[in-house]
Amino acid sequence: MTIVFQDIFYDAKMIFKKGNKKVQLVFHKVNKKQLSFETFAVINELKEKFDSLEHELKVKIEENKQLKNELSTLTNHFIEINSTTLNAID
Protein backbone atom coordinates (compact mmCIF):
# COMPACT_ATOMS: atom_id res chain seq x y z
CA MET A 1 0.00 0.00 0.00
CA THR A 2 1.26 3.46 -0.91
CA ILE A 3 -0.09 6.71 0.54
CA VAL A 4 0.75 9.98 -1.19
CA PHE A 5 -0.15 13.23 0.56
CA GLN A 6 -0.21 16.23 -1.76
CA ASP A 7 -1.38 18.52 1.04
CA ILE A 8 -1.63 16.89 4.44
CA PHE A 9 -4.93 18.64 5.23
CA TYR A 10 -6.69 18.20 1.90
CA ASP A 11 -5.74 16.02 -1.09
CA ALA A 12 -4.56 12.50 -0.42
CA LYS A 13 -4.14 9.51 -2.64
CA MET A 14 -4.07 5.91 -1.39
CA ILE A 15 -2.87 3.15 -3.69
CA PHE A 16 -3.48 -0.49 -2.86
CA LYS A 17 -1.49 -3.07 -4.84
CA LYS A 18 -1.78 -6.84 -4.84
CA GLY A 19 0.12 -8.67 -7.52
CA ASN A 20 -0.52 -6.94 -10.82
CA LYS A 21 -3.81 -5.35 -9.62
CA LYS A 22 -3.96 -1.80 -8.34
CA VAL A 23 -6.76 0.19 -6.68
CA GLN A 24 -6.45 3.92 -6.16
CA LEU A 25 -8.55 6.04 -3.78
CA VAL A 26 -8.31 9.80 -4.16
CA PHE A 27 -9.57 12.21 -1.49
CA HIS A 28 -10.10 15.70 -2.89
CA LYS A 29 -9.94 19.09 -1.26
CA VAL A 30 -13.16 20.38 0.22
CA ASN A 31 -14.00 24.05 0.10
CA LYS A 32 -15.55 24.40 3.56
CA LYS A 33 -17.34 27.66 2.71
CA GLN A 34 -18.82 26.17 -0.47
CA LEU A 35 -19.79 22.99 1.38
CA SER A 36 -21.46 25.03 4.13
CA PHE A 37 -23.33 27.09 1.52
CA GLU A 38 -24.48 23.95 -0.33
CA THR A 39 -25.54 22.30 2.93
CA PHE A 40 -27.45 25.44 3.92
CA ALA A 41 -29.12 25.54 0.48
CA VAL A 42 -30.17 21.88 0.75
CA ILE A 43 -31.55 22.43 4.25
CA ASN A 44 -33.54 25.45 3.03
CA GLU A 45 -34.88 23.48 0.07
CA LEU A 46 -35.94 20.62 2.35
CA LYS A 47 -37.58 23.10 4.75
CA GLU A 48 -39.53 24.70 1.89
CA LYS A 49 -40.70 21.28 0.68
CA PHE A 50 -41.68 20.29 4.22
CA ASP A 51 -43.61 23.55 4.71
CA SER A 52 -45.35 23.03 1.37
CA LEU A 53 -46.30 19.45 2.26
CA GLU A 54 -47.47 20.56 5.71
CA HIS A 55 -49.70 23.20 4.08
CA GLU A 56 -51.08 20.66 1.59
CA LEU A 57 -51.84 18.29 4.46
CA LYS A 58 -53.73 21.01 6.36
CA VAL A 59 -55.74 21.83 3.22
CA LYS A 60 -56.58 18.13 2.67
CA ILE A 61 -57.64 17.76 6.33
CA GLU A 62 -59.94 20.78 5.98
CA GLU A 63 -61.38 19.41 2.71
CA ASN A 64 -61.94 16.08 4.44
CA LYS A 65 -63.83 17.81 7.29
CA GLN A 66 -66.03 19.64 4.78
CA LEU A 67 -66.78 16.42 2.88
CA LYS A 68 -67.62 14.68 6.15
CA ASN A 69 -70.07 17.48 7.04
CA GLU A 70 -71.64 17.35 3.58
CA LEU A 71 -72.00 13.57 3.82
CA SER A 72 -73.63 13.92 7.24
CA THR A 73 -76.07 16.51 5.87
CA LEU A 74 -76.95 14.31 2.88
CA THR A 75 -77.44 11.31 5.17
CA ASN A 76 -79.81 13.31 7.37
CA HIS A 77 -81.79 14.45 4.29
CA PHE A 78 -81.99 10.86 3.08
CA ILE A 79 -83.30 9.71 6.47
CA GLU A 80 -85.91 12.50 6.47
CA ILE A 81 -87.05 11.60 2.94
CA ASN A 82 -87.27 7.91 3.82
CA SER A 83 -89.19 8.71 6.99
CA THR A 84 -91.61 10.98 5.09
CA THR A 85 -92.09 8.33 2.39
CA LEU A 86 -92.77 5.61 4.95
CA ASN A 87 -95.27 7.84 6.78
CA ALA A 88 -97.04 8.60 3.50
CA ILE A 89 -97.34 4.89 2.74
CA ASP A 90 -98.92 4.17 6.13
Predicted confidence band at 32 (pLDDT cuts at 50, 70, 90)? Answer: confident
Note the Cα 65 to chain centre separation in Å: 25
Res 7: pLDDT: 55
Predicted confidence band at 6 (pLDDT cuts at 50, 70, 90)? Answer: low
Tell me the C-alpha distance between 46 and 17, whole Å: 42
Sign of CA dihedral 47, 52, 53, 57: positive
Which sequence spans correspond to the domains of the chain?
Answer: 1-30
The residue-averaged pLDDT of 53-60 equals 95
The residue-averaged pLDDT of 20-41 equals 78
Cβ atoms of residues 49 and 42 within 8 Å:
no
